[in-house]
Amino acid sequence: MTRGNTDQTPGARAENRPTVHLAPPPSPSNPPAGAVRPDTAAVFDLDGLEVYYGAFRAVRGVTMQIFSNQITAFIGPSGCGKTTVLRCFNRMHDVTPGARVAGRLRYRTADLYAPNVSATEVRRRIGMVFQKPNPFPKSVYDNVAFGPRANGVRVKAELDARVEKSLRSAALWDEVKDRLPASALSLSGGQQQRLCIARTIAVDPEVVLMDEPCSALDPVATARIEELMRELKSRFTIVIVTHNMQQAGRVSDRTAFFTTDIDPTFALRTGTLVEYDATNKIFSNPHDERTERYITGRFG
Amino acid sequence: MSAGALPSGIAPPLDLSTKRSARSVKSASMTGLMIASVVVIALPLVAVVAAVFARGLRVALADFPAFFVKEVPIVARRPGPGMGPAILGTFLATGAATAIAVPLGLLGAVYLHEYGGMKRFARVVRFMANVMTGVPSVVMGLFVYLSWTLSFGYSAFGAGLALACLMLPVVLGATEQMLRLVPDHLREASYAVGASKSRTILTVVLPAALPGIVSGSLLAIARAAGETAPLLFAIGAATAYNPNLFSQANTALSIQIFANATSSFVAAQDRAWGAALTLVLLTFVITLTARIVTARFALRR
């Protein structure tokens, strides 16, 4: 199989991010920040990542780096492990019974699956937007304020400011500013998804993971979300799983193509990473024949 | 011109009328059978409510509002009101039972569903709770009689303990069911912004499940309010007001119905009807509240 082509280092901006402390004291295995080497410009560094559900190895052989302030798209057929890999990034597998992650997954300088890493701390920095808009059955305001409150913001004025800023960033403020106390479930599907984005960015994460965020939306709402993603790129690193290749082509800087093939160890059809490169390279001149077949619609 | 040309002949009339067939006969007979079942089910219910209202209202209205306030006559054959102490006793015993069973049931269900999952301990507890639901209420009364009443004497609290034993598995089961109905994507959404598990449960899961939990608990309370067997052992047979929850014999509506209805005096039997009406009204109000709470919250979602 072809490993991800990760030798191209993109313009790594935003390296003046605050120090990352996922675990209490820095230890030798967990070097203190400031020790960030220039070649660790990657936000995520995966090496031989595997995910098991019980004894079933669902994804294997994922080696790639995800870079700061870029949009990275994961594409591939159903069952190829895109979402499974995405959910590793903020330890969402912790809440799935039987799920287990093997191999290395580093977030900047920290090993995300080290025993002393708190999943809660990880998720404060790495937010997630889900496939189906899932606002809480609370008011619009309380939905956005939920994250800041969970992270200890109590002052009303600061909460107000955060809610407004997040809703503006999510291009939703003008539509909901007069109905902040209304139930979030009274919004349309596209508005609900932008509300979920506002809720995610209200805690000021570094990374926003998006799991097919537009698959439940119509083309107009999809276009708005894509526009939003391009705007948010300057502040956040975005990883998006999508079934829509046009979408990956439109919004992403880099694209990873996953597919299913026969796992040599277990003789089962499971997911793996085929190719990872700049998006225009993947869509114009892919390295791997399987990628070419998929993007030209001759998959199978 | 040729594209839209219709065939010149007139199409045969379309027959969509109902045909008499084996299927329609079957359908009619099954419908008839179901209607008959509903009538058979409703008949005793309507008869009970009608009898209680007809005879109970006469008694209650003859001495209104004294019937609901005055103490029970010490001499059973003497006619007249009332059921005041029994109403108070029912409230005391049911209130104590609620104060014990609802918090325990709620916390237990949160443990079972959010923390225990499929662990062995949680499965054992769940199984035992199911078994407890099927234990006859008189056995609960006997248990409390032996473990509490013999040591501490009759009291409304003892009765509350017995009722709590009955309510606990019901509240536990209903609450766990409601927690199961809270979609996982809400929990994930909360985790995804860095909320801890306890915070997720307190601010997302429980509020979403609250209407169901409240109505489930109210139904358990309504059921407990009408229980007789467990009270027979634990509450004693007072005829005067006893506002002390923890000491001395008390009484309850169900106990008064039992005691007065089995008496040979007409005056006592009349009081039993009046007490029955009071109890039915009380459970009706609680059940109605449960319905309103559920509907009100459901609308707000």
A57, A263 Cβ separation under 8 angstroms:
yes
What does the alpha-carbon distance between residue B238 and residue B255 come to, in Å, rounded to a whole number? 10
- In contact, B217 and B105? CB cutoff 8 Å: yes
B207 touches chain A (CB under 8 A): yes
Q: Which residue has the tokens 């009100």?
A: B296
**Of A280, A281, A300, A282, the residue nearest A291 (C-alpha):** A282
What is A163-191 written as a DSSP string?
A: HHHHHHHTT-HHHHTT-TTSBGGGS-HHH
Nearest to B194 by CA among A270, A252, A118: A118
Residue B206 near residue B214 (C-beta atoms within 8 A): no
The pLDDT of residue B8 is: 60
pLDDT bracket for residue B298 (50, 70, 90): low
Question: Are residues A199 and B189, on separate chains, in Cβ contact within 8 Å?
Answer: yes
The whole-angstrom distance between A26's CA and the closest CA on chain B is 21
The helix (run of H) or strand (run of E) holding residue A238 is: strand A237-241
pLDDT confidence bin for A63, thresholds 50/70/90 = very high
User: Is residue A38 scored above 60 in pLDDT?
Assistant: no
Count H helices and E strands in chain A, helices first. 10, 10
Determine, for residues A137 and B195 on separate chains, whether the beta-carbon distance falls below 8 Å.
Answer: no
Q: What pLDDT, in 10s, does the model give residues B150-172? A: 999 999 999 999 999 999 999 99
Residue A4 confidence (pLDDT) above 60: no
Residues in A closer than 8 angstroms to B192, CB to CB, are 90, 92, 123, 127-130, 200
What residue type is assigned to position B117 of the chain? G
pLDDT tens digits, one per residue of B59-77? 888 888 888 888 888 888 8
Structure tokens at B8: 């010149």
- pLDDT band of residue A270 (cuts 50, 70, 90) is confident
Average pLDDT, chain B: 89
| B300 HSE (CA, 13 A, CB side) | 15
Distance from CA of B115 to the nearest CA of A (A): 11
Mean pLDDT (chain A) is: 84
Of A127, A137, A185, Cβ closest to residue B192: A127
CB-CB neighbors (< 8 A) of B190 in chain A: 136, 146, 150
Does the N-terminal peptide bond of residue B82 adopt cis geometry, omega within 30 degrees of 0?
yes
Residue A20, pLDDT > 70, answer no
Contact A146 B183 (CB under 8 A): no
Give pTM, 2 decimals.
0.79
Residue B6: predicted pLDDT: 55
Shortest CA gap B212–chain A (Å): 15
Whole-number pLDDT of residue B160: 95
Cis amide linkage into residue A28, ω under 30° from 0? no
Which tens digit of pLDDT belongs to each residue from A81-123?
A: 899 999 999 999 888 888 999 999 999 888 999 989 999 999 9
For residues B216 and A36, the model is more confident at B216
Q: Are residues B245 and B157 in contact, defined by beta-carbon separation less than 8 angstroms?
A: yes
> What is the pLDDT at residue A21?
53
Residues in chain B: 301
Token readout for B184 is 């996982």
- Mean pLDDT of the region B229-245: 88
Residue appearing with tokens 């965020």: A213
| B53 pLDDT above the threshold of 60 | yes
Is the CB of B299 inside 8 Å of chain A's CB atoms?
Answer: no
Q: What is the dihedral of CA A183, B113, B196, B187, to 10 degrees?
A: -40
Res A32: pLDDT: 44
Please check whether residue B29 touches A, CB under 8 A. Answer: no
Shortest CA distance to A77 belongs to which of A286, A245, A264, A211? A245
Rounded CA separation B128/A125 (Å): 43
Q: Are B268 and B275 in contact (CB under 8 A)?
A: no
Average pLDDT over residues B248-272: 91
Q: Which amino acid is at A116?
A: N
- Phi-psi map region of A7: left, alpha, beta (phi>0 left; psi -120 to 50 alpha): alpha
Q: Is the pLDDT of residue B91 over 90?
A: yes
- B9: Cβ contacts below 8 Å, ≥ 6 apart: none
B122 close to A (CB below 8 A) = no
How far is the C-alpha of A50 from the C-alpha of A73, rounded, in Å? Answer: 19
pLDDT at B204: 94
* pLDDT of residue B2 exceeding 70: no
